[in-house]
C-alpha cells in the first residue's frame, strides 16, 4: 500500500521534519503546500499515519 500526504498535511501533523528527511529535502528547498509525497506503508506506520 502507498500513502500520499501533502506538505501542508505533514506540517499540520507535526511530521514535516521526518518527511523532509525521507525525501532528501532541506530548509533551502522550495516546497508548495499542496506538493504530494508518496510513502510506503512501513514509512506511514513509522510516522504514525497508520496503526499496526
17: which 3 cell numbers?
Answer: 521534519
Question: Over 80: is that where the pLDDT of 10 sits?
Answer: yes
Mean pLDDT of the chain: 96
Q: Using one digit for the tens of pLDDT, what is the confidence trace for 32-42?
A: 999 999 999 99
pTM comes to 0.89
Amino acid at each position: 500500500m502507498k500513502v500520499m500526504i501533502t506538505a501542508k498535511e505533514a506540517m499540520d501533523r507535526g511530521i514535516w521534519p521526518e518527511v523532509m528527511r525521507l525525501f532528501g529535502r532541506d530548509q533551502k528547498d522550495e516546497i508548495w503546500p499542496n506538493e504530494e509525497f508518496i510513502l510506503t506503508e512501513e514509512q506511514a506506520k513509522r510516522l504514525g499515519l497508520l496503526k499496526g
